[in-house]
Structure 1
Amino acid sequence: MADIYYAAGDVGVILPQIVKELQKTTLHSQLKQAAQVIAAMPDTNISDLEFTVPERLTDTGWEQKLHNAVYRHLRHYKPMPHPDTPQEQMKESLAYIRRAQSTWEKRILKSLNSMCTELSIPLARKRPLSEQNELRSRWNELGTEEPDLGSFRPVYGPKDFLDMLTTIKHPNLDVNGPTLSPQWGLIYLPLKVKTLPQLQEEYKVLSPKQRQTGVDDTSDFPGELFDGERMKLGRRVIQANHTAVAQQYAKSGCPSGLRGQIWKRILGVAVDDAVSIVADEYPSFKLFIQEFVKTNHESSSLLIMCMFES
């Protein structure tokens, strides 16, 4: 699902959109079926349905599943920049980069075409019938052939790519004017980078003070205690069945024994009966395909050839 941008004042528009998206999922039908089962119970009072059904759905864990689904959809909604934001604070256009990219692609294409013209090698053409028949007869030998590539030259060299990079100039940059940093390199692209305190704040979860599963438990320092604490915390996260909590837990690493369960919570996937049946039947299906290929080798090869030619 692609990211969707919304205006700052249109937060209320997101909820109906998420409701429409959830109505297309299997969770909606499962939630509706669970509500019908609760409503049909003998001890359920019809006059209290609007209170009894949500309460029992919460007790049976359906409310948490709904929260996780809404959270996963909310991650694709991002606020648009404020319309009154000054232009200098907006992301700058990269039209000059795209022009340089287009020029470089044309140069590569021209070099490739000239090399193919010199060697009389067409870039794309349909094989004639004689070559198709010859290819079918030598189908099993194609993987062992080693064609001579000595006549092919590189499409471009490292110096060509460096020369192209040095020609890119920012349209708003005056290299002759006063600058706070000396122009030591060949590439003059002023890129706004974060300061060291900003980087420390953004990547504070990677600080040596924050212990990581897979790093601290395999070092020389005894990590049995740390590993046990992470396993204990991971089981609590799995039991909570909360997508946001599982995602935060995974930032510090997952123990190998809990990795599958943690990622199932993050991605919101579940192994149902249909998936289990397919997994059980896969080995027998694989053997069936192998036997079919052995007994119908010629027709299988023709089928593969048709797939490549089409």
Structure 2
Amino acid sequence: MEEIKDFSIHHTTIKICEDLKNLPQYKSFYEDIQKLVSTPNVRLDDFRNSLLKAMQDNGLEADLRNNVYRWMKTRKKEQGPYDSFFRKAQIHWDKRIHKSLNSMSSELGISLAKLRANSEKEELLSKWNELSNFETDIHKYRPVYAPKDFLEVLLTLKGPCKEKPKSDNHKWEFAQLPLQVKNLGELRHLYAEFSRGESILNSNSFITTNVYFSCFEAERIALGEKILAKNYAPLAQEYLKKGCPKSLRARIWTLLLGAEVKQLQINHFDTLKKNILQYDLMIDKLIIKDINLTASNDDQYFVFEDVLYQVMLCFSRDAEILKQLPNQPAFMQVGVKGRPNTSENSLVFPPSGVIPFHGFTMYAAPFCYLYNNSVELYFTFRAFYLRYWHRLHRVCANAQGVVSLCLQYERLLQCYEPNLWHHFKKCRIHPLRVVIKWIMRAFSGHLPPEQLLTLWDIILAYDSLEVIPLLAVSIVIFRKDNLMKVNTLANIEAVLADLSSIAVIPLLQMALIKDNCY
């Protein structure tokens, strides 16, 4: 048994080493190790121990530990018995999206990709820091799809079950798939700090003036500074479970996600910028349109319009995203207009492999409250997307995927409030229709920024998106009395439209502490 265990550890170690060598930051890390070895601190007569001691003293051991920790987070087992079914469904959806893009291209008489004219390139460069002043005609463009369109795709999933439904009631069970989602007891176990009613730092206006809050916040800041000095990501994750002070959030997130900006990242961002200046992609107009429809019209985010143009355009050009996604999305290979139709003159469209839906910008907008530097903002947002957000708009069987999250919301609502569930059914309104925007956007653009960032703290702390459907069902139940008085989709949406009074942590504590049978 010990031999099998040792072999498994050895095999895992080899796999980690191979994968770490493929990371962009490996070269600089290896160079730092080489420089360290050449110092007097590393002795030949005691090479191993002296090297480990020198790595500890210079922070390289913490860097290595953090890289292994992040490797474990991104290498979770993705395979399941229904993966092929979901993969086929996603491929079919990708084809529909690509067909829509090509149709839009034909209708508008524009190419998917072309070289920018020198005059346009110069104007774009001169207005790089104020891209809201860059004039481009976007009024004919429309979002490729919206959350409600994606919901229709999810609701039509029949599942790989051979048995036919025996009654119409099955139509009310979201995506009749035998997926396992956590029940209330399991959620209480996962979010133990909430279910035990422990003190968690939050910006609830009713308690921030309290003397206890000031002392608690000071304690959290002092502890947070110690953790940042240790530079160890697992400690940062545990720290977030009791709440994060506003002043430390950006640094804690950067450490946890491995989004530190060094010269390598600056050079990569500059390369993306050059690609934007060189090529005019139709996706650029869709991004600009989405920013105009969302962040620019939101009184909480309109001031960040210029930096969002930079970040989202660079995101569309980043081929590393396509490489790092667990299940690579389907993509198009298109020719560049004005050049010979050869493989050398073709490119992946879009290079990131991600086609934005209506509201996609809101994945990035809240980061504007944390980072003044667009490069730092970009790499933290990208890391967040690669770890979490990509699962919110793709069909997959993962327990953190949008299908499972929707199913979890549905089952929690049936458990918590069967009367409300039957009210929706009586009105012939699927309960998911009123929350799909919340789930797909992770509440961005719906909750006030500070409450939203608190919610995202919880996602990072527990490395789970399951708090999203839990919060969604808690809000719906919180507004139950008013919802029971209305019977149309428009009126139900009106009841749930304003979330400005929602305090995330108290509401989650109420949901998890309350004694319910599930």
TM bucket (normalised to shorter chain) is: 0.5 to 0.7
Q: Give 1:199 shift.
A: 1.0
**1:249 and 2:239 are equivalent in the alignment:** yes
Aligned length in residues: 250
For 2:105 and 2:54, locate their aligned partners in 1 and report how far apart those are by CA, in whole Å: 70
Contact 2:201 2:242 in 1 (8 A): yes
1:243 and 1:205 map into 2 onto residues whose CA distance is 20
1:98 and 2:87 equivalent?
A: yes
Q: State the Cα distance separating 1:227 from its structure 2 match.
A: 1.4
* AA partner of residue 250 (structure 1): L
Identify if the C-alpha distance between structure 1 residues 77 and 109 changes in structure 2 by more than 3 Å, giving closer, same or farther: closer
1:168 matched to 2:153: no
Matching residue of 2:38: 33
- Secondary structure at the aligned position of 1:170 is classed as coil
> Alignment identity in percent?
24
Which residues of 2 match residues 278-293 of structure 1 at below 5 A?
none
TM-score, normalised with respect to structure 1:
0.53
Indicate how the Cα distance of structure 1 residues 147 and 258 shifts in structure 2: closer, same or farther if over 3 A, else same: closer
Structure of larger gyration radius: 1
8 A contact 2:65–2:232 mirrored in 1: no
Partner-residue secondary structure (3-state), 1:193 = coil
Give the structure 1 partner of residue 71 of structure 2: 76
- What displacement does 1:200 show? 1.1
1:177 is displaced (CA, Å) by: 5.0
1:199 match: 187
What secondary structure, in the 3-state scheme, does the structure 1 residue paired with 2:172 have? coil
Tell me if the contact between 1:57 and 1:63 (Cα under 8 Å) persists in the aligned partners.
no
Q: Kindly tell me: are residues 33 and 212 of structure 1, through their superposed partners in 2, closer, same or farther at Cα, counting changes over 3 Å? A: farther
SS in 1 for 2:208: coil
Q: Per the alignment, in what secondary structure is the counterpart of residue 91 of structure 1?
A: coil
Contact 1:64–1:242 under 8 Å retained in 2:
no
Give the aligned partner of residue 46 of structure 2.
50
The structural deviation recorded for 1:66 is 1.6
* Displacement of 1:114: 5.9
The residue number in structure 2 matching 1:183 is: 170
Q: What are the superposed Cα offsets for residues 112-142 of structure 1, whole Å, 9 maximum, x if unpaired?
A: 656766x572545869xxx969989x999x9
Q: 8 Å contact 2:193–2:241 — kept in the other structure?
A: yes
Contact 1:18 1:70 in 2 (8 A): no
Unmatched tracts of structure 1, length 5 or more: 1-6, 40-45, 82-89, 279-302
1:236 alignment partner AA: K
How far 1:226 moved relative to its partner? 0.6
Residue aligning to 1:85: none
After superposition, what is the alpha-carbon deviation per residue over 1:271-296, rounded to whole angstroms, capped at 9, x for unaligned? 99x89xx9xxxxxxxxxxxxxxxxxx
Structure-2 residue corresponding to 1:62: 57
Q: 1:8 and 1:261, CA in 2 relative to 1: closer, same or farther beyond 3 A? A: same
Distance in 1 of aligned mates of 2:243 and 2:261: 23
Structure 1 position 307 matched with structure 2 position 302: no
Cα deviation for residue 91 of structure 1 reads 1.8
C-alpha contact 1:238 1:262 (8 A) present in aligned 2: yes
Match of 1:201, SS state, is: helix
- Cα displacement (A) at 1:197: 0.8
1:248: how far off?
Answer: 2.0
